[in-house]
């Protein structure tokens, strides 16, 4: 009998901080989904004790970063390999113009109601067509 999975796979342990290092920077491990697209599903929690989560990934020049974030209100900042940052206005699709390592920071929006709690982040890097 044929069927399909309706849920995303759980995040791998490689995409989480070790239990004894809640403030670490996670080196994102992607799954290749074909046609030049890689995806990672990340789960985290923002709290008063840990108000941000930090991720790092490598991309080629000309690839596109696509984000889908759900959970409490948060600010997303992308830092490019040269050190420039996007600020809190990161759009869902962002052209990555430089080859190298990028840093992504998810920070609790502490001025909002219900600023803390679990979040889910889908991170896609899409190659040039």
- The string of pLDDT tens digits covering residues 96-108 is 999 999 999 999 9
- The string of pLDDT tens digits covering residues 80-129 is 999 998 866 666 789 999 999 999 999 999 998 999 999 999 999 999 76
Task: Indicate the SS3 state at residue 85.
Answer: strand
User: What pLDDT is recorded for position 88?
Assistant: 62
pTM over 0.85? The answer is no
**How far is it, in rounded angstroms, from Cα 48 to Cα 29?**
27
User: What pLDDT is recorded for position 1?
Assistant: 43
Residue 27 has pLDDT above 60, yes or no: yes
Domain map of the chain by residue range?
44-126
CATH class of residue range 44-126: mainly beta
Q: In the chain, where do the E strands start and end? A: 25-27, 31-34, 37-46, 52-59, 63-70, 74-79, 93-96, 100-108, 117-126
Residue 17 has pLDDT above 90, yes or no: no
């Amino acid at each position: 009998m044929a069927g399909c999975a309706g849920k995303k796979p759980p995040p791998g342990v490689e995409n989480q901080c070790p239990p004894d290092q809640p403030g670490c920077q996670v080196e994102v491990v992607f799954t290749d989904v074909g046609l030049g697209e890689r995806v990672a599903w990340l789960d985290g929690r923002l709290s008063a004790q840990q108000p941000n989560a930090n991720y790092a990934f490598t991309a080629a020049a000309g690839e596109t970063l696509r984000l889908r974030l759900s959970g409490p209100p948060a600010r997303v900042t992308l830092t490019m390999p040269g050190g420039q940052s996007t600020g809190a206005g990161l759009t869902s699709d962002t052209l990555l113009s430089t080859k190298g390592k990028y840093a992504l920071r998810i920070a609790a929006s502490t001025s909002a109601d219900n600023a803390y709690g679990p979040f889910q982040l889908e991170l896609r890097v899409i190659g040039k067509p």
